[in-house]
């Protein structure tokens, strides 16, 4: 099947799920049931009925009982009144009917067997024959229309494929993914936690994972210094003015944490409006301020500014997910300020770094996507065409196969997104190269922009009247006017490029935990060598060996527990430590070591010096083993 046919098949699966639920619980209120990647879901309001994942086999059995009666999908057009009459007892469908009718859309119902549902269409032609290879997977809570102000519904997820082999392969992948879930491994391996007393979506890095982070950060810094980046640091908070000028506030206010309001700050002149500080949602305005701290010449360009900068963005509680969806995270954020003729070379330089980093971590399969000009955009068409063409040329020059995401660029510039496949074949978006036509420019505030800001609750609270808000906005303007003095002595606007390699360290670490199933390669492993004393009399000697290995740059632990060697070996294996050495008389007496290697049945026999040299070399080469 092609993608469209598979999408229709999965949407048909959502109808079948709803039909089964309605037979089992006739008073349930149906809402919507789309196809999604690899499957489908349907959201239900079960009222006072409580269902759990223990009910999924019953629902699935009912689906299989119904399916033979579904020979085709029939389409019926209805007026809004007819549709409302059919769904009179379902407020969710009535809301959709009013919305669709108000937009002038034709209302349609699709029927298969005895089941009818409000639907725009897109189904398989022969459901009884084609819709056989499905499996219900899980339950979750979901707010109606994605708003926390609305009722929490029950979402049932399923997967559907065109052949039994594809279904089996997907279910096997899901089983393996469950074993690798970074939240489970995070707890088992004592890597991280999230405390309700600290806050949802705020990660506590435990010593082991903090060690991995330190190694990764050191590698990142080394890589960027070699590539000509200048690393900086910016504060965690900033004045609201900064994000008004950048226009982040008007576009992303619902993702920003609340401002701190001060009527007056001691030692500063009292302005005619309150002074506000905001937890920064991004690093770029701060980097611009560093660039603008003094005049810049074309001779200084390109100027590459980088930071491992922590930012804060509000995410709804329902979408938070371990380390991969959080509220506080550290971006490997860098910004390049350059001239137009330097653009292609700079983009190529970023893509080279991406290739090297991803290959080093075992991500060999990746795809570039170039997102082009959307319907609403800032900047000239000439600037957009230039930037889009530069991205294409740079990607081609670095050997990146790319696809075009037409119209999917953000309002301030086109971009390249890099999506990699992990060891289970799952796709993750990591690196981004993004042009910015907004912040480096300078423009007067328009009436439309004033209206946009005035809709914000914080502006009404802060300024009381639109006139006050307008005066403030016009004083600040839009954009920072980021310029350099060219060889002709004229001031010219910089080209500004945003870029990340990891994205955020939190999300990237969650991906790495699952990619490696917690068994980090030697150079990243929090503990590289476990020393296991045979008895109490060997503990002091093992400690001395650990000190010697640590001085040589190895990360070592000593298991001093009063347990059998067998238990200690099993414990080291469960902690996924790359090398395990049992320390007895021979090892302390200068004899060769017998070293258990993670994932291998065959031990190594090496002298202490040769073993140290081996691990040092692995640290140096940074192999993705």
Active site residue 415: yes
Residue positions counted in the chain? 625
Return the residue matching tokens 């009436």: 447
Options 135, 224, 415, 555, the catalytic residue: 415
What Å distances lie between residue 301 and 229, 411, 479, CA to CA? 12, 26, 20
Active site residue 284: yes
Active site residue 335: yes
Long-range contacts of 123-126 (CB under 8 A, 24+ apart): 123/8, 123/11, 123/12, 123/15, 123/73, 124/5, 124/8, 124/9, 124/12, 124/73, 125/72, 125/73, 126/71, 126/72
Q: What is the 3-state secondary structure (H, E, C) of 462-524?
A: HHCCHHHHHHHHHHHCECCCCEEECCCCCEEECEEEEEEEEEEHHHHHHHHHHHCCCCCCCCC
Pairing of strands 427-436, 495-504: antiparallel
What Å distances lie between residue 65 and 51, 132, 164, CA to CA? 20, 11, 18
Please name the residues in contact with 295: beta carbons below 8 A apart, sequence gap of 6 or more. Answer: 485
Active site residue 331: yes
DSSP 8-state secondary structure symbol assigned to residue 297: B
- H/E stretch holding 164: helix 164-180
Return the residue matching tokens 């691990």: 615
Active site residue 498: yes
Please name the residues in contact with 36: beta carbons below 8 A apart, sequence gap of 6 or more. Answer: 10
Options 284, 296, 373, 538, the catalytic residue: 284
Kindly state the tokens that stand for 211: 């060690």
| Coil, strand or helix at 610 | helix
| Coil, strand or helix at 172 | helix
* Beta strands, E only, 280-414: 303-312, 328-338, 366-371, 402-405
Q: How many CA atoms lie within 13 A of 481 on its CB side?
A: 9
Contact 526, 557 (CB under 8 A): no
Options 30, 62, 287, 331, the catalytic residue: 331
Options 335, 373, 538, 568, the catalytic residue: 335
Please name the residues in contact with 308: beta carbons below 8 A apart, sequence gap of 6 or more. Answer: 217, 220, 221, 330, 331, 332, 333, 505
| Coil, strand or helix at 142 | strand
544-553 in b/e form (b: 16+ CB < 10 A) is ebbeebeebe
Options 11, 208, 313, 499, the catalytic residue: 313
- CA 52, CA 55: separation in Å to the nearest integer? 6
Query: What are the residues facing 336 on neighbouring strands?
Result: 304, 497
Options 7, 117, 332, 333, the catalytic residue: 333
Options 373, 478, 483, 498, the catalytic residue: 498
Give the residue numbers marked as catalytic: 284, 313, 331, 333, 335, 415, 498
């Amino acid at each position: 099947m092609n993608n469209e046919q598979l999408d229709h098949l999965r949407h048909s699966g959502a109808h079948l799920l709803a039909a089964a639920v309605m037979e089992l619980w006739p008073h349930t209120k149906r809402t919507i049931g789309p196809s999604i990647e690899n499957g489908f879901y349907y959201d239900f309001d079960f009222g006072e009925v409580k269902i759990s994942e223990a009910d999924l086999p019953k629902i699935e059995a009912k689906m299989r009982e119904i399916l033979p009666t579904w020979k085709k999908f029939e389409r019926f057009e209805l007026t809004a009144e007819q549709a409302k009459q059919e769904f009179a007892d379902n407020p969710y469908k009535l809301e959709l009917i009013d919305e669709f009718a108000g937009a002038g859309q034709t209302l349609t119902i699709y029927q298969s067997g005895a089941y009818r549902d409000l639907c725009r269409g897109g189904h398989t032609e022969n459901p009884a024959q084609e819709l056989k290879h499905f499996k219900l997977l899980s339950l979750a809570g979901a707010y109606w229309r994605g708003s926390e102000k609305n009722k929490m519904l029950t979402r049932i997820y399923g997967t559907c494929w065109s052949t039994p082999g594809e279904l089996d392969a997907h279910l096997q992948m899901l089983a393996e993914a469950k074993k690798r879930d970074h939240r489970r491994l995070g707890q088992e391996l004592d890597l991280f936690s999230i405390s309700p007393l600290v806050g949802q979506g705020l990660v506590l890095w435990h010593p082991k994972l903090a060690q991995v982070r330190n190694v990764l950060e050191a590698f990142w810094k080394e890589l960027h210094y070699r590539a000509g980046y200048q690393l900086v640091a910016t504060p965690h908070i900033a004045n609201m003015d900064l994000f008004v000028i950048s226009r982040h506030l008007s576009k992303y206010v619902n993702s920003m944490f609340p401002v701190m309001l001060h009527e007056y700050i001691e030692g500063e002149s009292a302005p005619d409006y309150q002074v506000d500080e905001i937890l920064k949602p991004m690093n770029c305005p701060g980097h611009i301020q560093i660039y603008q701290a003094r005049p810049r010449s074309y001779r200084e360009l390109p100027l590459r500014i980088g930071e491992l900068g922590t930012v804060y963005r509000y995410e709804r509680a329902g979408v938070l997910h371990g380390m991969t969806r959080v509220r506080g995270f550290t971006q490997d954020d860098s910004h390049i300020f350059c001239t137009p003729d330097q653009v292609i070379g700079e983009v190529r330089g970023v893509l080279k770094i991406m290739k090297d980093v991803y290959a080093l971590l075992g991500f060999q399969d990746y795809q570039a996507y170039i997102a082009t000009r959307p319907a609403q955009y800032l900047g000239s068409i000439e600037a957009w065409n230039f930037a889009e063409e530069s991205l294409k040329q740079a990607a081609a020059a670095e050997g990146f196969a790319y696809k075009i995401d037409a119209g999917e660029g953000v309002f301030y510039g086109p971009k390249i997104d890099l999506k990699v496949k992990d060891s289970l074949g799952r796709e993750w978006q990591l690196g981004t190269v993004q042009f910015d036509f907004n912040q480096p420019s300078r423009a007067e505030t328009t009436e439309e922009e004033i209206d946009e800001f005035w809709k914000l609750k914080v502006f009404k609270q802060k300024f009381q009247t639109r006139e006050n808000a307008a005066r403030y906005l016009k004083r600040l303007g839009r954009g920072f006017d980021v310029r350099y003095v060219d060889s002709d002595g004229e001031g010219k606007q910089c080209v500004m490029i945003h870029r990340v390699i990891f994205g955020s360290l939190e999300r990237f670490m969650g991906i790495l935990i699952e990619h490696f199933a917690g068994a980090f390669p030697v150079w990243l492993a929090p503990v590289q060598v476990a020393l296991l004393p045979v008895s109490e009399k060997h503990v002091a000697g093992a400690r001395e060996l650990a000190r010697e290995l640590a001085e040589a740059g190895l990360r070592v632990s000593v298991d001093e527990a009063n347990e059998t060697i067998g238990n200690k070996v099993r414990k080291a294996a469960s902690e996924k430590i790359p090398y395990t050495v049992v320390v007895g008389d021979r090892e302390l007496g200068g004899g060769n070591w017998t070293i258990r290697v993670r994932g291998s049945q065959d031990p190594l026999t090496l002298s202490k010096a040769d073993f140290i040299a081996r691990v040092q070399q692995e640290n140096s080469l940074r192999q993705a083993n």
